[in-house]
Chains A and B, each alone.
Chain A
Amino acid sequence: MLPRLCALLSIGLMLLQSAYASPLRSPGPFSERVHQTQIDATLDTDTHRVNAQMTLVWTNTSVQTLTNMPFHLYLNAFAHTQTTFIQESNGGQLRNDAREGDDQDNFGYVLVTALSDASGNDLMPNWKMDDDIADLTLPAPLAPGESVTLNFSFVSQLPKVYARSGHNGDTFNFVAQWFPKPGVFFNGQWNNHRYHANSEYFADFGNYDVRLTAPSEFVVGATGVLVEKTEQDGNTTHHYMAEDVHDFVWVADSKFGEASTEYEGITIRLLYQPPLDEESVQNQLDAAAATFRWFHEHVGYYPHSTMTLVQPPEDADGASGMEYPTLVTTITNLDKSPFQEMAAMVTIHEVGHNYWQGIMASNEFEESWLDEGINSYTEGRIMAESFGQPYAFHIGPLNVSMPYGHHLATMGARVTDPVNTPSWEYATTGAYGLNSYSKPATILATAERIWGVEKMDRVLKGYYQAFAFKHPTTQDFLSVAATVDEDMAKFLDNALNTLQTIDLRAYRMSSDKADSRGGFDLTSDPANPTFTAPEETDSWQHSVTLLREGELMVPGVNVNLVYADGHVETRYWQMTPDKAWEKWQWRTDSELVEVLVDPQFSVLLDGNFANNNKITGENSKQAWRWVQSMFISMQSAVSLLLAW
């Protein structure tokens, strides 16, 4: 009986599964599911306006009784010229895009038109809106474990897109940060920052059950999985479900082309701008699959069953390169290039964010490096280890791999803030960018090279296992690192939380013919000590001084000592915190011609690689070769090009 019952049950389950696509690849819940959000939204594609009803069931998972509940109204950041976002972003500029002018369609808003509780009591008098945030006084105190049900009617007017959300004035509608979104009750208080120019978001996990209605000729993509599609009067309603996600976005464009592939139960769907050749389409799907392959191997499980890649049209650049749970936007140009991998790299970056943000959901307002920094680091490894293309840029023998790209951006940059700084408190937008992306990526790459990739993998895996779906902080990341290697954790702590820097140098070097011992022989006849003049011997006396500038410590690095006879000796320079220098003196039979500190470039955080070596003798002319070659090729290029 039992086996038969099991068989029947599993057939039933299979039928259920095929009838109802599941948003998860394996049964949840994976998160606390603080809210259940149900939305019924209709997009007017002419006015780019969304009319919606939303039922939010929010559970107090804290240990405190709550009397109010703050909300984000992100789209109101685009409502007028005095909002925090527009003021901080120099009138509306983000990344490479900017507000196109003062016409009405460059502005947007989200307005709550009606709000009631489960019994239908009007809560509008309790709703206090202040530009892009709002505060709701709860109808009754909400005790721990209790839930409150709120019914919203709201209108979202999309702006012309220049900062993630909006339309292109034509058929492309990217509907993000579009509904009233509760803040996060975190560490004993509400966390509900305004929409800042240099900042992304922070939200609680929950389930979404959303019906999206748009004209039938529009292709729709959204967070989660499509469970049903119904058509009525030329409009189609797309029913999407998402579980254990902290945001819901959707996109509608009548011009999208579609392609998809499967990777271990994840449906990867690409919505692109035709025409796009087959190779470029495949490149995108491959990039996404390579990302999942790497994360499954090195970090952890992706619980969702979908990943949608959206290519914005060229005139919607502001929407490009952005991550949302189970849906990301690529760059606008997806053509596979023979010499640069930007199209794949950005996709790998954004899909990677489904871990460092999607699954971890740390506070992007306050600790942006936890998403962008870790992601910039892993993106380089995915390119090299899983996608099979380590270079972001490569022409002939010239190339830039990701770690060196980040090193270049970091070296010599002014140190104004610690990496771990709230996003609106950096000295400049440039400092936000440096400290959110390239510098933390370089810090992690340095740790990987010093302590080994195996330890770094243990940190990433441990971080995922301990903190997935739990809003971890920098401290949580460091605590995991400390369980792997105390020294590494200390290095990471200093590199991330202080202004400490490091610059290793080959400071002094000499290599001279050694003399034999000469002079008075003090043990000989005291009345008339014998004297022998020192003589030159065949051996060489070397002296090398190495210098560590800056307070940041690493345990040590290798130093290559190159001798005139071609022999290369590698010595380890063990560093100590209380001494910035190291001096070596020794003798060999061959002249020392070069000292090269850190020949493997393991300390990518080194502020200047150009001072890492010293060369003497014949080899000091090495540099002339560069100059000579460069100079002569430039000069003959001019002659050859003009034939005069």
Chain B
Amino acid sequence: MGAASAPLIELRGISKHFGSGDTRVDALRGVSIAIEPATVVGLLGPSGSGKSTLLNVIGCITEPSEGWMKLDGEVVYDGRWLRRNLPRLRLEKIGFIFQFHNLLPFLTAVENVAAVLDLAGERRAAALARAEELLDYLQVGRRKHAKPAKLSGGEAQRVAIARALANRPRIVLADEPTAALDSERAGIVMDLLRKVAIERQTAIVVVTHDEKIYGRLDRIYRLRDGVMQAVEERAPAAP
């Protein structure tokens, strides 16, 4: 493995518990993973196994209880956060895709995508141009001036993916991105994510219960009771 394929996401012995005493829940126990660029990995496991918690830890939303974490070449956690401004860290490194699209209802599709760039301090015109380009890339360009309420589920999810990609993150995290879509649209969205992963050298982590999309994953992590049970390498067909 060369420098180019050094892991974008690297976790060592990450644990997370909520509460203490009788109410203590160990959501993650000593999880270690490494995910290289141009990979789409799936995070599987029964309900309550810690999938969302793991995703939130990688997304720098939930602080781990212990462990070490490196994102895109930067050690961000080592027993404590090494960066004070976590929103900024998210803005720079990570794109999020939600189960329900979670677009801002008061902005149009293109503005939703541009918002991320706007927050990162990019000029408005440049932000809008890049947002339009992304929407075209995801084949929803013609809906760019529609408000989210006017978009179909598949369109909204593609706008959300465009938003996740807007700041050129090397890490994209998706929590059940296809749960609200039928299998055909779920397939289209997953193919898009694979295309993004390969073309933009991105590491994409997808939490899913959806067996129909297993065929489109490069690797599957199985969690149970916060413990990483198995890692399964796969060779998906090219999108």
Check if A and B associate: no
User: Taking beta carbons and an 8 Å cutoff, which residues of A are in contact with B?
Assistant: none
User: Taking beta carbons and an 8 Å cutoff, which residues of B are in contact with A?
Assistant: none
